[in-house]
Amino acid sequence: MWLRRLILGVIAISFGSLFFLVSDLPDGDLHFYALNVGQGDALFLQTPSGHRFLFDGGPGKTVVSELGAVMPFFSKRIDAIFVTHPDRDHLEGILHVLKNYEVGALYVSSFKSNAGLSGAIIRQARAAMVPVIFADERDDLELDDGVTIDLIYPFRPVITAPAAANNASLVAQVRFAGRSILITGDIEVPTEEELVRAYNEALTSTILKVPHHGSKTSSIPAFLEAVHAELAVISVGVDNSYHHPNAEVLSRLEGSGATVLRTDRAGRVEVTVSAQGAVSSTSLMR
Ligand SMILES: [Zn+2]
């Protein structure tokens, strides 16, 4: 009897891993994940033909186990990493990703190549022969499977004092099948105003990665109106000391017609866009 149970157990485990293996392979859909990294951002994108991109790496090294859960176990390849700005809650995990994955390129904004953690990351990237690109809105990627990663901010490469880095965040609009995802780092009011002036209706996006963890210093009405998102994803730690997300921001988001998804409530969030433009979302934990 125990032998039969053991065999059944082994079969169940094998089917379990087979399921995960199959679900992680490219399937013609675009998959966008807000990884469950606590107070910070780590956003992963797998395109319909299997290109992989990481926007920010969150604090600590949790991002490595999160990537292990959403990538096939046999592949360690990430096409490119974008670091929106060099704050620890977006940056620290990147050091561990560079040590554990083959990375095609590293796009950064507001990095100082000789200072602190951003300097360490640039040294690590160069040691691994990963090209480092001090990016701006001219650095766009058009992929062979219909996905465009359009960097829309900053307008020119920026190096700022750490206190101003939030407003020098890389902002990207990812487009596929008539849908789009706006990835905003920690931009605050001045950059939101600048984006609205520069792009206005072109900011319209199906999915908004809410700026700065839902802080009260971001998500002004004019910006939310221009973006007009159906889904608003907030990457935020449980009971964080910053009291993110702010209650007024949450009601503004809901008032704008968006469904709010939060990593502190839902764990890892996945949004899928099909080739026909159908959007669905799932929470993978809790
Ligand atoms: Zn942040």
Domain boundaries, the chain: 26-283
CA distance 111 to 125: 13
Q: What does the pLDDT read at residue 13?
A: 43
Mean of pLDDT values over 228-254: 94
The pLDDT of residue 20: 44
Length of the chain as a residue count: 286
Share of the chain above pLDDT 70, in %: 89
**208 alpha carbon to ligand 1 midpoint, in Å?**
15
User: Residue 40 Cα, ligand 1 centroid: separation in angstroms?
Assistant: 5
Q: What is the pLDDT of residues 104-126, one digit of tens each?
A: 999 999 887 677 898 999 999 99
pLDDT over threshold 90, residue 259 = yes
Q: At what angle do helices 62-70 and 88-100 cross, to 10 degrees?
A: 60
CATH class of the domain comprising 26-283: alpha beta
Place of tokens 């465009």: 148
CA of residue 258 to ligand 1 center, whole Å:
21
- pLDDT score recorded for residue 83: 97
- Give the distance (Å) from ligand 1 centre to CA of residue 204: 23
Measured in Å, residue 87 CA sits from the centre of ligand 1 at 7
What pLDDT sits at residue 243? 87
Alpha-carbon torsion (159, 225, 39, 99), positive or negative: negative
From the CA of 276, how far away is ligand 1's center (Å)? 33
Q: Distance, CA 13 to ligand 1 centroid (Å)?
A: 38
The angle that helices 116-127 and 88-100 make with each other, rounded to 10 degrees, is 20
Between CA 32 and CA 40 the distance in angstroms is: 16
Task: Identify the band that residue 283 occupies on the pLDDT scale cut at 50, 70 and 90.
Answer: confident
C-alpha 216/C-alpha 192 separation (Å) is 13
pLDDT of residue 219: 97
User: How far is the centre of ligand 1, averaged over its atoms, from the C-alpha of 247 (Å)?
Assistant: 18
* C-alpha 137 – ligand 1 centre gap (Å): 21
> In angstroms, what is the span from residue 179 Cα to ligand 1's centroid?
25
Q: What is the mean pLDDT of residues 143-148?
A: 97
Q: Alpha-carbon distance 225 to 219, whole Å?
A: 10
pLDDT at 12 over 90: no
- Please give the distance, rounded to the nearest whole angstrom, from the Cα atom of residue 217 to the centre of ligand 1: 12
pLDDT at 215: 96
pTM, to two decimals:
0.90
Is the model's pLDDT at 7 over the cut of 80? no
The pLDDT of residue 24 is 63
What is the CA(56)–ligand 1 centre distance, in A? 10
Assess contact for 137 and 153: CB atoms under 8 A: yes
51-78 average pLDDT score: 96
pLDDT band at residue 6 under the 50/70/90 scheme: very low
Tokens 């809410």 belong to 210
Residues contacting residue 258 through CB under 8 Å, at least 6 positions apart: 208, 224, 229, 230, 231, 232
**How confident is the prediction for the chain on average, in pLDDT?**
90
119 φ/ψ angles, rounded to the nearest 5 degrees: -65, -40
Residue 240 alpha carbon to ligand 1 centre in Å = 12
